[in-house]
Structure 1
């Protein structure tokens, strides 16, 4: 039986293809079986495979989940080109266009709130002495949208009556350009500071967005700054 695995971003670049077909004698396999065979066939990508996650029909797949040949299996890295995607509530968005920070801030304005805070994440030129030319962002969009909303729900539960909006940019983001805007409003300023910090740290922990750092003499795909993506991170 043949099983098709879709690859994205750094993994596709590493292996030189976007789809891999694996052959198994049985009609059902587990994610563990798929991971083992990938490790055997692509030992040069072992370090990337170790920190990867699979989805089955757009849902996170557990190691022992049974997979059929007709299932849509993805090794989480990115999503294809798209227009701006906005959540049903309008507070969370992913876009390939430049981000309007004032527009994101306007989403959280509330006459009962006495404070609002907007965080702008931009591309810096130097990191540990190495000059960055540009960044390229990719995401697994359906899950990224869900986890950004999860962050907003966490903030609303921890700091009642707050409002949070997040917009993240994909594609090429050059030096000085904005990659993410987080806006928070609340009755008091101390709540805004705490909630905003929580939002950016959680975004790095659980939102499946990857960036490719392009330097003057090379490039490298990276996950967020806190390590491999953990969808169950606390």
Structure 2
């Protein structure tokens, strides 16, 4: 049986927008497709490590069963991007501008009647002081793991919800988004609760530092409990 897979980014440039793989077994999973791609397309095997399948326009788990007629796509992480997937979400740290539509698309589910997207942007004035820009740094391995921890907390508390968080590092200018959080659930009240939990916990536990750059100085700030300079080794 033949399975059509929609590609993106660098793999689409190399192989075309859609590729076809053929598998003979009676039941096929997402993991089977990944294995077959590695065997059939050696030239893009290294790119598969940072890529993730979608099935019916939602993130797919490795053991998920697929049919030849199903819409299947492969999302590719870009350069400088770290990504992790949990049972309920998709978590990304990147140096690139955040594509809100892309983040939101990760949580859409035909069984959900509500979705909500939160943007955290750089504001120009804070307590009367004019901000020129913000700079973000992170201990990426721990940051990505604690973002997944937030997803696990949400999965336990609101089992049917889905969440995607993308946080940007580097320079973020006035009006640009530093973080986008998208959630979906069967009902709107769960969306509101899940979104609030996600942003509050992100501020509390994810090791991302923000440098506020003003017209006359700058200051590193950490989580909500106080400032922290990531370059201070003491």
Structure 1: tracts of 5 or more residues without a match: 1-81, 230-234
Equivalents in 1 of 2:127, 2:178: separation in Å? 20
Structure 1 equivalent of residue 161 of structure 2:
162
Q: Is residue 214 of structure 2 the alignment partner of residue 227 of structure 1?
A: no
Structure 2 equivalent of residue 83 of structure 1:
80
The answer on whether the counterparts of 2:81 and 2:92 sit within 8 Å (CA) in structure 1 is yes
Equivalents in 2 of 1:88, 1:200: separation in Å? 18
- CA deviation after TM superposition for structure 1 residue 86, in Å: 1.1
Structure 2 equivalent of residue 24 of structure 1:
none
Equivalents in 1 of 2:149, 2:115: separation in Å? 20
Distance 1:197 1:88, change over 3 A: closer
Structure 2 equivalent of residue 204 of structure 1:
203
The answer on whether the counterparts of 2:221 and 2:227 sit within 8 Å (CA) in structure 1 is no
Aligned ranges 1:20-169 → 2 under 5 Å: 83-89=80-86, 91-169=90-168
- CA deviation after TM superposition for structure 1 residue 160, in Å: 1.3
- CA deviation after TM superposition for structure 1 residue 145, in Å: 0.3
| Structure 1 vs Structure 2 CA RMSD | 1.4
TM-score normalised by length of structure 1: 0.61
Deviations, residues 186-230 of structure 1 (Å, cap 9, x unaligned): 00000000010000000000000001000000001110223368x
Structure 1 equivalent of residue 70 of structure 2:
none
Deviations, residues 93-116 of structure 1 (Å, cap 9, x unaligned): 000000001100000010000000
| Matched pairs, number | 148
3-state SS of 2:159 partner:
coil
Structure 2 equivalent of residue 213 of structure 1:
212
- CA deviation after TM superposition for structure 1 residue 131, in Å: 0.2
3-state SS of 2:164 partner:
strand
